[in-house]
Amino acid sequence: MLSALLIICSCLSVRSSGKPMFPENEKSPAFWNNGAQKTLKEALSTQELNKNKAKNLILFLGDGMGVPTVTAARILKGQLNGQSGEEYQLEMDKFPFVSLSKTYNTDAQVPDSAGTATAYLCGVKANEGTVGVSAAAVRSQCNTTKGNEVTSILKWAKDAGKSVGIVTTTRINHATPSAAYAHSVDRDWYSDNEMPSEALQAGCKDIARQLFENIPNIDVIMGGGRKYMFPKNMSDVDYPGVAKYNGVRNDGRNLVQEWIDRMKDQGGHYVWNKQQLLSLNPKKTSYLLGLFGPVDLPYDLERNADSDPSLTQMVEVAIKVLQNNPKGFYLLVEGGRIDHGHHEGKAKQALYEAVEMDRAIGRADLLTSAQDTLTVVTADHSHVFTFGGYTRRGNTIFGLAPMVSDVDHKPFTSILYGNGPGYKLVGGARENVSTVDFAENNYKAQSAVPLTSETHGGEDVAVFAKGPLAHLLHGVHEQNFIPHVMAYAACIGQNRGHCPSGGTAALRPVFSSMAAVLTVTLLLC
């Protein structure tokens, strides 16, 4: 009886608020018909396929950005722009081609970020916890590294004479970026301090060291992870009194200073805060190393706007530096802390991170052209994040469902997790969320199963693509297909037989002769 009354009161309060539940023009069939016709014309125009050679390649990787996260971020961004949110378009929503990627690792149904990074960067599926090595390598077993290394599209681009860059909101030696340059059987070997002695004695190198040694002239490197680059106990430049941010390297090497010494006569610049980054002249910068935190960068909601650069700002500088090369560039951009927000059950942090990555996508669009730049947006995996509860149109994405549970008679937020740290019992029963501030930045949404860290999800993730040969990313594909398409479009790596000898003229696909045969056959018939 109590639950029925609460449901009725909730519905009455929505209807009596005086606010329209949706825009007035949506009552007219003409609104929807006209919108569909406009979209139809746009869809027909995409049939004029862009078969240009891709001079530039950009991969935006939203770590943990599953389809529910994309949808929720769309609503959030729309609401931040004064709309109800559901009808809003993210920058990635505007891409003409969308497909699905199967994310499993060779040894895992629900993947991790290391094995997936090896797939979408190196073109080879791998075991969880390993980066830049094939599935023949065994996690944490150093002696399985040699002979099982696989190279990434970043290296293919560098070998072809293009400039290359990595921008991330996590440690630059975290799972996603490390697969672009490292070969490690353990994603957690950030520095030699995290490696077992037997692995060091067997000759395995930590990931921070590989960043500077494997591909020594990566043109742009931006992210966090300073502590892994400096000798043990060396104070951090921004947190001199905080011991946990001191350098951790046991080998005594200062990898940053080594980079500065090597690049000082080659137009190289090292920066560690926003002011230094934005004061650079990109036209006069050949190489850029930006390390903006001892570990991961702050969440965007907690970022110091005076000293910490946003992902959008980093992406803009990166593109302007990389554009100095007339042969073009490859850029990997990771919105890495979407994943961290979800693991912590902090949906608000995760979704604001996704919104910021979408802003960076928009900025990249303004700085490049779809005529010569293939841009791909995807995720490595999803999370057990969802939102539901029959919420009304325009309901704040962080709000309550318009009903209470018909079992425990308590309200619940629309956003929930399948598992994670948000599981909480009060007096042996589910916590009443109306007694807490569920709109607070670090609120941990309720979960069904108690875990200290929420887990990844195993479903397919979306792949958005625009630019030269973007139409090749269609249907449902294995995740390792992505770099093969990007390399094919740019005429780097393998499969270069279809490429023109020079310039940016349209490619001649290998299947054109077959199409000609089919055309003649149809005419004869």
Annotated binding site: 63, 174, 176, 334, 339, 343, 380-381, 456
Helix (H, G, I), strand (E, B) or coil at 142: helix
DSSP-assigned letters across all residues of 40-54: HHHHHHTTS---B--
Residue positions forming the annotated binding site for Mg(2+)? 63, 174, 176, 334
What is the C-alpha radius of gyration for the chain, rounded to an integer number of angstroms?
A: 25
Active site residue 113: yes
Strand-pair partners of 171: 224
Alpha-carbon gap, residue 464 to 410, rounded angstroms: 39
Which residues, 6+ apart, have CB-to-CB distance to 394 below 8 Å? 19, 21, 22, 79, 84, 85, 86
- Name the percent of the chain in helix, strand, coil, to the closest 5: 35, 20, 45
Cα separation, 282 vs 286, in Å, equals 8
The phi, psi pair for 210, rounded to 5°, reads -65, -30
Identity of the amino acid at 107: D
What contacts 244, CB < 8 A, 6 or more positions away?
Answer: none
Q: Residue 61 in contact with residue 378, Cβ under 8 Å?
A: yes
Annotated binding site for Zn(2+): 63, 339, 343, 380-381, 456
**C-alpha count within 13 angstroms, C-beta hemisphere, residue 88:** 24
3-state SS assignment for residue 347: helix
Distance of CA 119 to the CA centre of its chain: 14
Cα–Cα dist 118/38, whole Å:
40
- Full 3-state SS string of 440-481: CCCCCCCEEEECCCCCEECCCEEEEEECCCHHHCCCEEECCH
For residues 47 and 233, give the distance between their C-alpha atoms in angstroms, rounded to a whole number: 59
Question: Which residue in the block uniquely carries the two structure tokens 């669009």?
Answer: 365
The three-state DSSP-derived secondary structure of 360-382 is: HHHHHHHHCCCCCEEEEEEECCE
Please tell me which residue in 84, 113, 178, 447 is annotated as part of the active site.
Answer: 113
Count of C-beta atoms within a 10 Å radius of residue 418:
15
3-state SS, 215-251, equals CCCCCEEEEECHHHHCECCCCCCCCCCCHHHCCCECC
Where in the sequence numbering do the catalytic residues fall? 113
